[in-house]
């Protein structure tokens, strides 16, 4: 570790890029959120020039856009649904993915690399593709209803894709690689001697799980949840394709931007979405890291 000016020089292009494309636009967006929305401007007494540029004076800046997440029922329901589905999907995907992750770390079996490769496939699939796959599998004339109807005479899971359950299933789909890979790398760091020590000291399987494995697993689960929660909160394509009446926060931002043309409101909502997501992610990640101390 030496010659710090050289390191600063090498990192400079990257820093400039991130500041220009992420940090500065974000603070600009925070400011935009304080400007009254166009609709409010028209109703109020704001001046507008001939070419549609608004001149906003300092005392016209308002908190209304930021408060609309509490005052507007539709937006509030979007936030609630986003939070609820992100939390539930995080738990379910961890429950489903902990088995495969454990197999990948602890067992050798033929086709292991292939198994791992298949589990990684949803990684690059964007939300809309997953929405489409949900529609063709569990939509109104999806494959599963058609096949079960043909086999047993009862269409199973018909039009499930358009319900909240279907939305959850689609969300779980794209969490599979994230949850599996994160859990796998976390489980790999375990000190497995502790488990065999507990067993050789006479702990029952239940005691081993309760007092050794669960405390070891908790940080792994928490740090995985940091990722899955953030990705679910930000996901937008699935809801765009599947949701008809209900809304999630990213979808609401899109609607405000392109249907209502309320740029300032969508800026405020984006800021809130980003702050909630990054904040929760940060605290979960820190918690996971802090408690890794005794695992490995």
Partner 1 sequence: MHSPRDGQGVAAAAAGVAHPALGVATPAAKTRRPISLWLVFCALSSLLLLFMIIAPLIVCLWGSFTTLKVMGAGSERGAGWEQVTTSRDEEKAESQSAAASVDLGVFAKGARNIAGSVTTFWYQYVWEVYGGTLHLSLMLAVISICICIVLGVLGGYALVRYTFFGKNLIEEMILLPLSLPGIAVAVALIETYGVLRGSWVIILFGHLLYTLPFMMQSVTNTLRSFDFVTLEQAASSMGAGPWQRLRYILLPNLKHAIIVGSLLVFAISLGEFNASFLLNTPFNQTFPAALYDSYTNDSFQVSSAATCIFMFIVIPALMAMQLIGGKEMRDIGGA
Looking at residues 210 to 249 of the shown chain, list those that interact with partner 1 (rule: CB under 8 A). 224, 226-227, 230-231, 233-237, 240-241
CA distance 281 to 70: 23
Return the residues of window 52-81 that contact partner 1 according to CB under 8 A: none
Beta strand ranges found along 132-231 (DSSP E): none
Tally of CB atoms within 10 A around 223 = 22
Residues 6+ positions from 289 with CB-CB distance below 8 Å: 219, 223
CB-nearer residue toward partner 1: 45 or 154 = 154
Contacts of 194 (CB under 8 A, 6+ apart): 212, 216
**What is the dihedral sign for C-alpha 37, 40, 44, 50?**
positive
Asked if 121 interacts with partner 1 (CB under 8 A), we say yes
**Beta carbons within 10 angstroms of residue 187's beta carbon:** 19
Q: Is 182 in the site for partner 1 (CB under 8 A)?
A: yes
Kindly state whether residue 83 participates in binding partner 1, applying the rule CB under 8 A: no
Q: 176 near 125, Cβ under 8 Å?
A: no
Cβ closer to partner 1: 45 or 49?
A: 49
d(CA 66, CA 37): 11
Binds partner 1 (CB under 8 A): choice among 196, 210, 214, 286 = 196
CA angle, 131 as apex, 261 and 228 as ends, to 5°? 90
Q: Which is nearer to partner 1, 10 or 45 (CB)?
A: 10
Q: Which of 34, 54, 66, 254 binds partner 1 (CB under 8 A)?
A: 254
108 binding partner 1? (CB under 8 A): yes
CA angle (292 as vertex; 286, 294 as ends), nearest 5 = 145
Pick the piece of the chain touching partner 1 (CB under 8 A) from 22-30, 41-49, 50-58, 157-165: 22-30
The DSSP letter of residue 126 is -
146 binds partner 1 (CB under 8 A): yes
Tell me which residues in 24-53 interact with partner 1 (CB under 8 A).
24-26, 28-29, 32
Measure the N-to-C terminal CA separation of the chain; round to a whole number of Å: 27
Give the nearest distance from C-beta 253 to partner 1 in angstroms.
5
Minimum Å gap between C-beta 119 and partner 1 is 7
Stretch near partner 1 under the rule CB under 8 A, chosen from 54-62, 65-73, 141-149, 154-162: 141-149
Residue 190 near residue 295, CB atoms below 8 Å: yes
Scanning 38-46, 54-62, 65-73, 184-192 for contacts with partner 1 by CB under 8 A, the matching segment is 184-192
Considering the complex, state which of residue 37 and residue 224 has its C-beta at the smaller distance from partner 1: 224
- Which range, of 50-58, 61-69, 70-78, 132-140, touches partner 1 by CB under 8 A? 132-140
Look-up of token digits 């979405």: 273
CA distance 132 to 242: 8
CB of 73 to partner 1, least distance (A): 21
From 38-46, 47-55, 105-113, 155-163, span contacting partner 1 (CB under 8 A) = 105-113
Does 263 help bind partner 1 (rule: CB under 8 A)?
yes
């Amino acid at each position: 570790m030496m010659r710090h000016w050289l390191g600063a020089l090498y990192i400079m292009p990257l820093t400039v890029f991130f500041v220009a494309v992420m940090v500065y636009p974000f603070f600009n967006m925070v400011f935009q959120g304080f400007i009254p929305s166009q609709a409010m401007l028209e109703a109020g007494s704001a001046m507008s020039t001939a070419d549609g540029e608004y001149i906003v004076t300092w005392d016209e800046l308002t908190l209304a856009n930021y408060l609309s997440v509490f005052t507007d029922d539709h937006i509030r329901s979007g936030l609630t649904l986003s939070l609820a589905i992100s939390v539930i999907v995080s738990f379910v995907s961890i429950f489903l993915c902990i088995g495969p992750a454990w197999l990948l770390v602890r067992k050798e079996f033929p086709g292991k690399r292939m198994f791992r490769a298949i589990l990684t496939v949803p990684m690059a699939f964007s939300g809309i593709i997953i929405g489409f796959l949900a529609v063709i599998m569990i939509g109104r004339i999806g494959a599963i209803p058609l096949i079960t109807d043909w086999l047993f005479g009862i269409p199973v899971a018909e039009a499930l894709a358009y319900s909240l359950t279907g939305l959850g299933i689609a969300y779980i789909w794209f969490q599979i690689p994230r949850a599996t890979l994160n859990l796998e790398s976390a489980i790999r760091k375990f000190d497995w001697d502790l488990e065999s020590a507990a067993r050789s000291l006479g702990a029952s399987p239940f005691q081993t799980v309760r007092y050794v494995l669960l405390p070891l697993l908790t940080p792994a689960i928490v740090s995985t949840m940091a990722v899955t929660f953030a990705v679910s909160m930000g996901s937008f394509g699935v809801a765009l394709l599947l949701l008809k009446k209900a809304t999630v926060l990213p979808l609401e931002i899109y609607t405000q931007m392109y249907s209502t043309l309320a740029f300032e409101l969508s800026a405020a909502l984006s800021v809130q979405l980003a702050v909630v997501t990054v904040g929760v992610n940060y605290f979960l990640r820190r918690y996971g890291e802090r408690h890794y101390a005794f695992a490995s």
